[in-house]
């Protein structure tokens, strides 16, 4: 299998078609959680959805992402956002509409940890 050669890697913040928990599919932001060395050109990639509707007290299923009003320099997020670690999405690299930014390593570690806790 051929490896995906663009910038797609674990921690990429991408826009891709993904269903919500009710099955409604739309283009939404996602964080890739598949290990970079496992991302193949035609293989599935696992991601978690990003939400901008975060309660003041963020639940344990969510990991807040760095953001700034004029776009965070790494994540490129301009609104308070969180990775929803129990909302897994599978897509192929060809379904990625755009790579927008990247999650910092420390935050990505927490996302992977919480994802495994909530999806075992």
What pLDDT does 88 receive?
Answer: 94
- Could you say which architecture CATH assigns to the domain 12-118? Roll (2.30)
pLDDT in tens, the chain (120 residues): 444 445 799 999 999 988 887 888 899 999 999 999 999 888 899 999 999 988 888 899 999 999 999 999 999 999 999 999 999 999 988 889 999 999 999 999 999 999 999 876
pTM over 0.85: yes
C-alpha dihedral, 52 to 101 to 45 to 104, nearest 10°: -90
Q: Which of 106, 103, 95 is nearest to 18 (CA)?
A: 95
Specify the DSSP element, H or E, that contains 115. helix 105-118
Q: Sketch the domain layout of the chain as residue ranges.
A: 12-118
């Amino acid at each position: 299998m051929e490896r995906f050669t663009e910038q797609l890697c674990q921690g990429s913040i991408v826009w891709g078609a993904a269903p919500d928990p009710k099955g409604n599919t739309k283009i939404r932001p996602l964080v890739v959680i598949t290990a970079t060395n496992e991302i193949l050109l035609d293989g599935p990639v696992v991601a978690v959805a990003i939400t901008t509707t975060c309660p003041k007290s963020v639940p344990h299923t969510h990991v807040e992402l760095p953001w700034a009003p004029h776009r965070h320099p790494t994540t490129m997020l301009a609104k308070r956002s969180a990775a929803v670690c129990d909302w897994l999405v599978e897509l192929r690299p060809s379904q990625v509409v755009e790579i927008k930014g990247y999650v910092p390593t420390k935050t990505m570690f927490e996302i992977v940890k919480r994802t495994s806790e909530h999806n075992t």
